[in-house]
Amino acid sequence: MDREKQSRQVMSGVSDAHDGMKALPRKRFKKPTGNQFDLDELARGVESGSRLHLGKAITLLESTNPEHKKRGQELLNALLPKTGNSIRIGITGVPGAGKSTFIETFGTMLTELGYRVAVLAIDPSSSRTGGSILGDKTRMEELARNPHAFIRPSPTAGTLGGVHKKTRETMLLCEAAGYDVILVETVGVGQSETLVRGMVDMFLLLVLTGAGDELQGMKKGILELADAMIVHKADSDNLPLATKTVREYKQMLHFLQPATEGWKTRPLAASSLEGTGMQEIWDMVKEFEQTVKESGYWSQRRQEQTRDWFHSMITDELHGRFYGDPERKHQVKEMEQRILKDQLTVSQAVAELFK
């Protein structure tokens, strides 16, 4: 436990991206009127670690109401000095790999070691209906009831671009609330992996036994995003095969580009059912953190992530303003008809819209 406390002290240090930033007195906000949120109360509640206030703060940031969006950014700006003090871990895996079960077992173990754990799940919303699964609290019942854990599904509202803003800002609020470890789960295998890789410190890929067969259906690019491969469900009669799969991955990884400079991607076996391998994974995470911080790449990666977020937000804002103009939307529809009637080329239509 002493070793864990020492590690936690290391982890609680503000990230290099915030080095030199003093905990300035928090500004006082104007008193709310009508249905407005009380930002002072929210900020105090978040800083105190209240899950209720954290949930309300995230809801404020996720709101599409212009006034709420403005006040949400005021709140986030006031809490920025409290952010950057966690380790951010992305978790993905092939369908059936048991991501939610792994997160519940792994997260529960971390809370028993004295850490506070936040789980953010990238939840793909239907592009047609806007509906969302949001079933993570149901799938992680034990962790959801844990007072030292916080679970928040992040619906993408039909576009993975929403990951850039909602999940990143939710992550910052969780850090301001004192969460030491943030686990970001992707649902499914696809574009979301690249987006999540761009906002976390370490990326774990959950796989099943039979590495050779599995690699046939897995893109090489996804493999090269991973800092570690967890051969999951390594229990009972499956244990010998899981051990063999770990050996196979060790050989395969020699031919892949490492995801993080100065760190060699490695495979480990684990079982959420029996709880085996979880401590070894956490020891590896701490070793990763120490190694990458000593190399200087930790702060570099976080700065790159912030820069990428900034440029992504510019793109999102331009897109929103363009299509948010009623006259422009009407022009787009007119151009579509002219293109379909072969009256204009696509390039000519775009040039006319931006003339």
Judge if 131 and 157 occupy the same domain: yes
Judge if 212 and 247 occupy the same domain: yes
Query: Is the alpha carbon torsion for 286, 288, 293, 295 positive or negative?
Result: positive
Give the confidence band of 156 by pLDDT, cuts at 50, 70, 90. Answer: low
Per-residue pLDDT at 230: 96
The reply to whether 73 falls in a domain is no
The reply to whether 245 falls in a domain is yes
Instruction: Please give the average per-residue pLDDT across 266-275, as a whole number.
Output: 95
Judge if 208 and 338 occupy the same domain: no
pLDDT in tens, 208-224: 886 555 554 556 677 88
The reply to whether 49 falls in a domain is no
pLDDT in tens, 188-245: 556 678 888 889 999 999 998 865 555 545 566 778 899 999 999 999 999 999 999 9
Global confidence as pTM: 0.82
* Count of structural domains, the chain: 2
The reply to whether 191 falls in a domain is yes
Q: Is the pLDDT of residue 185 over 80?
A: yes
The reply to whether 77 falls in a domain is no
Give the confidence band of 157 by pLDDT, cuts at 50, 70, 90. Answer: low
Judge if 222 and 111 occupy the same domain: yes
Nearest Cα to 199, choosing from 176, 187, 183? Answer: 183
The reply to whether 10 falls in a domain is yes
The reply to whether 45 falls in a domain is no
When comparing pLDDT for 10 and 149, which is higher? 149
CA separation for the pair 119, 280 (Å, rounded): 20
Percent of all residues in the chain with a pLDDT value above 90, rounded to a whole number: 55
CATH of the domain at 148: 3.40.50.300
Per-residue pLDDT at 15: 39
Judge if 206 and 102 occupy the same domain: yes
Nearest Cα to 216, choosing from 254, 268, 265, 252? Answer: 252
Judge if 207 and 317 occupy the same domain: no
Question: What are the helix and strand counts (H, E) for the chain?
Answer: 17, 7
Per-residue pLDDT at 215: 54
Judge if 120 and 258 occupy the same domain: yes
Give the confidence band of 8 by pLDDT, cuts at 50, 70, 90. Answer: very low
The owner of tokens 């890789």 is 197
The residue segments making up the domain with residue 322 are: 304-353
Judge if 195 and 323 occupy the same domain: no
- Of the residues 250, 269, 296, the one at which a domain ends: 296
